[in-house]
Amino acid sequence: MNIDLTVFLVRHGQSEWNLEGRLQGQTSNIPLTALGREQANHTAVQLANSGAQIVVSSDLLRAAETARIIAQNLSIPIRLESDLREQSLGIFEGRLAADAHRETNDTDWSNPKWRPAGGESLADVYVRLVRLFRKIQQEFPGGQIIVVTHGDTARTALALLRGENLADMTDAILKNGEFIKLPLRKID
């Protein structure tokens, strides 16, 4: 397979709800903390010589804010994409993560087929990402792009970009403001 494109996959900077230990899911209006903005600026410095042509980001505030900081520092355009949103956590959004996990202690949240009430599964997120990365491949046949997203969405994207089975995907999540460089191989 040919490597057509390089992706710098970025997790958004720390948000107010990350600091509080709340499950964010697709809650749209959660801003970055001061540390989160510092993390975004630090990521921008690290990506300054990446040759990236565009920042493609989730449209949720915490990711969009991170993306804007990076794009402004690199003087490149930004595009917001709803397909990069975090996994919808339905009834658990806004709840303290510790409380939600305690209430569902017999549930494997990493199971790609598990869907919280009113939310979506990681398999659903995977389908969104396949659609988005196919679109990106058509629009950017070569070069480098920065993709800003969320913890579980980034973990799912890593599985997709590495050609891993969802059931075997890693539990490791990028830290806030952290990024990884990956080739975007042809997605069938």
Catalytic residue numbers, as ranges: 12, 86
Q: Is the torsion defined by CA of 79, 8, 166, 139 positive or negative?
A: positive
Phi-psi region of 112 (alpha: psi -120 to 50; beta: other; left: phi over 0): alpha
Summarize the chain as % helix, strand, coil (round to 5): 40, 20, 40
Residue 37 and residue 29: Cα distance in Å, rounded? 15
